[in-house]
A and B are shown apart, each in its own frame.
Chain A
Amino acid sequence: QSALTQPPSASGSPGQSVTISCTGTSSDVGGYNYVSWYQQHPGKVPKLIIYEVNKRPSGVPDRFSGSKSGNTASLTVSGLQAEDEADYYCSSSAGSNNLGVFGGGTKLTVL
């Protein structure tokens, strides 16, 4: 149950795009299409923003998009807005007989 690898920080100016990576192995990210991304504002509950690699729950702006290539998943936030400043966590299934695994989180700063 090794954590997925995310950069600790990312930043961009309003209106710009930023991409956050999430690297795992063939036993988690690379092996399943159950990659999710969660947004967490300070003191708040995590919120699902991307599931099954690239699907958005109802109500999540289409500025948020997800993708995957091999063992690395990515979250792209386009048209950055001030309210996008938050911590972002990726998570992946590690197989039907295992608990999933989180990344260490990335703090996104809107400059």
Chain B
Amino acid sequence: DAGITQSPRHKVTETGTPVTLRCHQTENHRYMYWYRQDPGHGLRLIHYSYGVKDTDKGEVSDGYSVSRSKTEDFLLTLESATSSQTSVYFCATAFRQKPNEKLFFGSGTQLSVL
């Protein structure tokens, strides 16, 4: 499958601290996405990127920012973590942004905000 690496795999942090999650891909996919997964909510889109330095908001973007300075890296930052941001975060990539396109997922980051 596509080479998508998320780091860290697990993180515990305190409320109010900044947190950055990293997604690295080796497939040269143009499109990259950050989702959060919560029980009873499924996966919800936080932010996505359609090219270097080109990003846009998803449905649950409040409290999150992203950056993409290189094709292969997509960073998700929680400026001041809150307990409501405790979740599993998934990065996904796609070669094209077409509705029939397969998404390739990383293995997720379990984030706990205490």
Q: Do A and B come from one complex?
A: no
Please report B residues at the A interface, Cβ cutoff 8 Å. Answer: none
